[in-house]
Amino acid sequence: MRNALRLIVSLLPLLLTPVLGSLLAQGNINLGGGEKDILLLLPWMAWSLVFAISSWVLWRRGYSIVGSSWRSALVGLAGLAILSVTLAILGQLGIGGLF
């Protein structure tokens, strides 16, 4: 039972990605960006993937569900920040062409 709860908690953001994409595409959620709202899914997927992996690693190391969840959220946020800074630097240097 406890392992099932851990699995659900770690994969819930990743499993909600198609639902969020569907709601954004149908216009049920409007963030004021028009068609660009769907681009919200890219950072959401990156964060939720890092969250799921770090949750699993922290649970294997013996952290509780609550402790590993908030630490995984912070790790996901840091991973997203590193990814965005890396993409910004690559865009400024012109590596990989113009974005």
d(CA 16, CA 11): 9
Residue-level pLDDT at 49:
93
Q: Which residues of the chain have pLDDT under 50?
A: none
CA dihedral 83, 85, 89, 94 (to 10 degrees): 50
Kindly report, residue by residue over 32-50, the tens digit of the pLDDT. Answer: 877 777 888 889 999 999 9
Residue-level pLDDT at 27:
81
**pTM (2 d.p.):** 0.81
Residue-level pLDDT at 99:
54
Locate 9 and state its tokens: 């908690």
Residue-level pLDDT at 97:
59
Residue-level pLDDT at 95:
65
